[in-house]
Amino acid sequence: MSAPLSAYEGIVGSAVIRQLRRMGEKLAGARIVHVISTREGGGVAEILEWMTPLMTELGLKASWEIIHGSGRFFEITKSIHNGLQGHHVAISGKDWKVYEDVNARNFGRLRPVLEEADVVVVHDPQPACLIKLCERRKGKWIWRAHIDISRPFRPVWKVLRTFAEKYDASIFSMAEFAQPLPHPQFLVPPSIDPLSEKNRDLDPAELSGARAEFGLDPDRPLLVQISRFDRFKDPIGVIEAYRIVRKVTPVQLVLAGGGATDDPEGKAVLEDVLEAAQGDPDIHVLLLPSAAHKTINALQRLADIILQKSTREGFGLTVTEWMWKGKPVIGGDVGGIRLQVVNHHTGFLVNTPEGAAHRIRYLLHHRERIREMGGVAKEFVRNNFLLTRHLREYLTLFLAIRSGKEEPILQV
Amino acid sequence: MTPFEVKDCALLLRMSGLSPAGNLRELRERITGCSENVLFHHYCETTLRTTFDNPDYRNDFAVWAKLYLGDRVLAERLGILDPYTFRSLEELRTATLEVIDERLGESLMVPWARPGDELFFLESTTVVFDAGIRITQPSRLGAFIRKMTNGSAYYHYLEARRRPPFGKDDFTLWLMENEDANRPYILALASVDFYFHSLPHLRRELANVLTEAKVAK
């Protein structure tokens, strides 16, 4: 259950909340429907969990719908997802047929709500072909791509583009992630909810409880990476960095991640990680349930050094969460991490396990820098990457796209 | 005086459709052909954009020259261009191209960025709406500016200079309805070297100078 808008006033200020209410008045009664592929796990579902109720509070008729599919469907969409991020994947004509058939079945169920909506926001590739099926749509349709599709595996993009180009507009998290499409392409970075279970302040008892639960030593530095078990997150590279640091400093490592129902590849990656850990008692590999938000929050707050050593990344919301907890991040020099981590300012960008190990050792020997950089990082998140900014940009988009005008300045 | 109607605005970024620039020659080519909205965005709307950094320069071309072309001379020359001192965006474009041409003439090779570090050309859609606030007393203007959103400050103090009458902010135009009585406030607003401020800093600065003018009055 998300908090009401007024609960954020103490964090972002009353002017920001007042601004959102004024914009909501302009959109009162508008029917907004989000469509995604999973209610559990992943940043997109988390965003919609707070965004939909807040839009409703502002007077919009907002809802989100889930498409249902078989295990095979999600294996195929995972391949599509990987292909869009540049991975060479094999998707046969039969697979694409399964993809379209599952979408067709879902369309049969969702048809009334999709046809009547004023704005439909379709998230990521899984439900992207719904637009092809909804011939009697009345509203504007927007495709929201949360991942980096700047260098896709061309055969995958060639098919998916035939759906994407039918939309009235698309949204990408960063300019670097976009692909040319024959409609306006907007840029909206994602955000975090500072009052969610994953981000709210925790009391000392909750932190010590988590430390005890996972058998973490309070006297030794703790390195943590939390993200899905996904090859692009490079958990094996994190273990390599840990081993380099371990030669000189007795650190502990937590690699924690949740499984999402649309990510069948995660199990295989988890097995590889366990094999790489070789039973080292100071490497804690945790497969967390998707609702373990408080545990993730506690691990983030217990960490001395934070890693997000991705080799390919969308925006990287995990990084934003770290920063909100006042922690500098050692992140892979890719995707949205580059936007968030500014060297010597809010963290460090690295390219190799060796680079990560170097920065870990630097920070462990300059504890005051951890506090300084963490403080800077938290303020940047407050000003730019909380849900209030995200909500404002969606409202701006709805106002702009419903006006049907192309002017750079719209009076509403 | 008529009450001052406070507006608010929200910015939405969009891709311009131009190919990204990977070196200085491509930057020149794109700036030559881009729309005024693209130019305006990269010089003026940067203050409204989300960021994790406080860059040294307010315009994106200077920041890119420093961080990705590694050309600090070019960055300094572009960074000092203040778009609000030009009578039109075309004049700003000409001045920008002049700086780039000068640098290309000085360089033995064309400065280039690594793949992945290209400059993307953006523009924006800005939605303007009534904030529902009315200011009736000039002496209260500073207090209102201190509390208003960054969007309101941007729209009335910066974006206004793009609208006729060219170069004037909305607050000053309102105060000029009773110019003699409001002269201290008008002079206070004109004294702010605003281009290099972030919006939160600009709001504080405007509120401070107006408060000082009120005390002096």
Residue in chain B lying closest to A397 (CA): B12
Which chain B residues have any C-beta within 8 angstroms of a chain A C-beta? 8, 10-15, 17, 20, 37, 50-53, 116, 120, 122-132, 147-149, 151, 159, 200
Torsion A361-A364-A365-A368 (CA) sign:
positive
- Strand ordering across the sheet containing B4-15: A61-66, A31-36, A119-123, A140-145, A169-172, A185-187, B4-15, B122-135, A409-411
| Pairing verdict, β A222-226 and A329-332 | unpaired
Q: What integer pLDDT is reported at residue B77 of this predicted model?
A: 97
Q: Is the peptide bond before A4 cis (omega within 30 degrees of 0)?
A: no
Exposure on the CB side of residue B152, measured as CA atoms within 13 A: 26
Q: What is the pLDDT of residue A181?
A: 95
The whole-angstrom distance between A22's CA and the closest CA on chain B is: 7
Nearest chain A CA: its distance from B211 CA (Å)? 20
Torsion of Cα atoms, A128 then A131 then A132 then A134, to 10°: 140
- Rg (chain B; Cα; Å): 19
Encode pLDDT of B49-88 as tens digits: 866 666 778 899 999 999 999 999 999 999 999 999 898 9
CA within 13 Å, CB half, A234: 21
Residue A282, both tokens: 């100071």
The pLDDT value given to residue B3 = 97
> Is residue A152 exposed (0-12), middle (13-18) or buried (19+ Cβ within 10 Å)?
buried
Confidence of residue B176 (pLDDT cuts 50, 70, 90): very high
* CA–CA distance, B121 with B30 (Å, rounded to integer): 8
Q: Which residues contact B37 (CB under 8 A, 6 or more apart)?
A: A408, B16, B123, B124
- CA-closest candidate to residue A126, choices A147, A163, A149, A99: A99
Q: Chain B residues with CB inside 8 Å of A383's CB?
A: 200
Tens digit of pLDDT for each residue in A40-88?
556 788 888 889 999 999 999 999 999 999 999 999 999 999 999 888 9
Q: In what order do the strands lie in the sheet with A252-258?
A: A283-288, A252-258, A222-226, A305-308, A329-332, A347-350
Q: Which residue in A345, A377, A393 is closest to B12 by CB distance?
A: A393
The pLDDT assigned to A40 comes to 58
> Cα(A406)–Cα(A237) distance, rounded to whole angstroms?
47
A148 beta partners? none
All residues at 6 or more sequence positions from A149 whose CB lies less than 8 Å from its CB, including other chains: A84, A85, A157, A172, A177, A178, A179
Gap between the Cα atoms of B202 and B195, Å rounded: 9
Site of tokens 């954009």: B49
Residue that is written with structure tokens 């306006």 in the block = A184
Interface contact A384-B200, CB threshold 8 A: no
Q: Select from B14, B52, B118 the residue whose CB has the most chain A CBs within 10 Å, as the one to mutate to test that interface.
A: B52
Q: Chain A closest CA to B29's CA: distance in Å?
A: 19
Residue-level pLDDT at B167: 86
Whether residues B12 and A400 touch (CB distance < 8 A) is answered with: yes
**Which of B14, B127, B129 has the CB atom closest to A185's CB atom?**
B14
The DSSP element (H or E) to which A65 belongs, if any, is: strand A61-66
For residue A303, the SS3 value is: coil
Higher-confidence residue: B23 or B201?
B23
Answer whether B125 sits within 8 Å of A410, measured CB to CB: yes
Does A51 reach chain B within 8 Å, measured CB to CB?
A: no
pLDDT above 90: percentage of residues in chain A: 71
From the list A186, A342, A319, the residue with the least C-alpha distance to B55 is A342
Measure in Å the smallest separation between the Cα of A328 and chain B Cα atoms.
Answer: 12
The radius of gyration of chain A from alpha carbons, rounded to an integer in Å, stands at 21
Task: For residue A382, give the nearest of A22, A45, A12, A6 by alpha carbon.
Answer: A12
Q: What is the ipTM for the molecules in this complex?
A: 0.91
A–B interface: beta-carbon pairs under 8 A: 99
Cα gap A172→A187, rounded to integer Å: 5
Q: Which of A238, A270, A268, A243 is nearest to A254 (CA)?
A: A238
